[in-house]
Amino acid sequence: MEQRHIFHIVGGSSRSRAEQASFCFGLGHHCEVYSDAAEFLERIPEGGIVLIFDDHETDGALRLLHRLSEQGVWLPVVATSFDPSTPAIVAAMKAGALDYLQLPLEEQRFLATIDSIALQAEAMTEAQHKIIQARDRIASLSPREREVLDRLSDGCSNKTIAQELEISPRTVEVHRANMMDKLGADHSAQAVRLHIEASLDRLAG
C-alpha cells in the first residue's frame, strides 16, 4: 500500500493550486493550500511535503527556502513552474529544494519524486535527531569542559590544551573525564563526533 502524504501547495494562481490539489487527492494524498509563502509561513506545519510555485518575479522557492533556513526548520520542498529554466532549477536545488517539477504535474515523474523524497526525508530526520541529541549533551558541559572539547576536536593533546588554557595537565584530565562522562562517550572519537554533529547546520540542503 502506498504511503499517504500531506502536500502543502503554496503560491501560483488559484486555478493552478486547485489542479495540483485535485491531482494529489486523486493519488490518495491529503492537501493543504496556501495563497502564497507568507500565508504558509504564518504557521509552519510540522511535517508534509511543500510544493512551492517558483515565480520568476518573486523567486518564490528561494525566498521560502531562505525563510525556513532562518527559522531552523527543515521540510522537504519541491519547486514547481510551468516553464522552468535551467538557472532557476539550479538555484532552487542549491538553495535546498529536493526537486523541481514542471506543471501541470505528470504522474510518473511525480511518483518518482515522492519515492526519492521519502528516502531523503528519513535520512534527514535521523540526522536532525543526532544533531539535537548532540547539542543537548554539549549544552550540559561547563564552560571549561566545552573549551577542552573544542580543543580536543582540533586535535590538541592534553599538554597543549593545558598550555592554551593556562591550567595544569592534571586539571585538563579532570575536565576531560567529566566532559566524557556527561557526553556519554567511551573514548575521544565519540566526543569529537558529537562535537561535529552539534556543529552541523539544522538544514541539510
Instruction: Express each pLDDT in 1-47 by its tens digit.
Output: 467 899 999 999 999 999 999 999 999 999 999 999 999 999 999 88
Instruction: Express each pLDDT in 49-82 by its tens digit.
Output: 999 999 876 678 999 998 988 887 888 999 999 9
Q: In the block, which residue shows the cell 533556513?
A: 69
Q: Where are the domains of the chain?
A: 6-105, 133-199
Asked whether this chain's domains 6-105 and 133-199 adopt the same fold, the reply is: no
Amino acid residing at 92: A
The percentage of residues in the chain with a pLDDT greater than 90, rounded to a whole number, is 59
Q: What is the CATH number of domain 6-105?
A: 3.40.50.2300
Helix (H, G, I), strand (E, B) or coil at 10: strand
Comparing C-alpha atoms, which of 199, 151, 195 is closest to residue 172? 151
For the cut 50, the answer to whether the pLDDT of residue 205 exceeds it is: no
Instruction: Express each pLDDT in 136-192 by its tens digit.
Output: 899 999 999 999 999 999 999 999 999 999 999 999 999 999 999 999 998 888 899
Strand segments (E) across the chain: 6-10, 30-34, 49-53, 77-81, 99-102
Q: Please check whether residue 55 is in contact with residue 71, taking contact to mean a CB–CB distance below 8 angstroms.
A: no
pLDDT for 203: 37
* CATH architecture assigned to 133-199: Orthogonal Bundle (1.10)
Cell digits for 114?
515522492
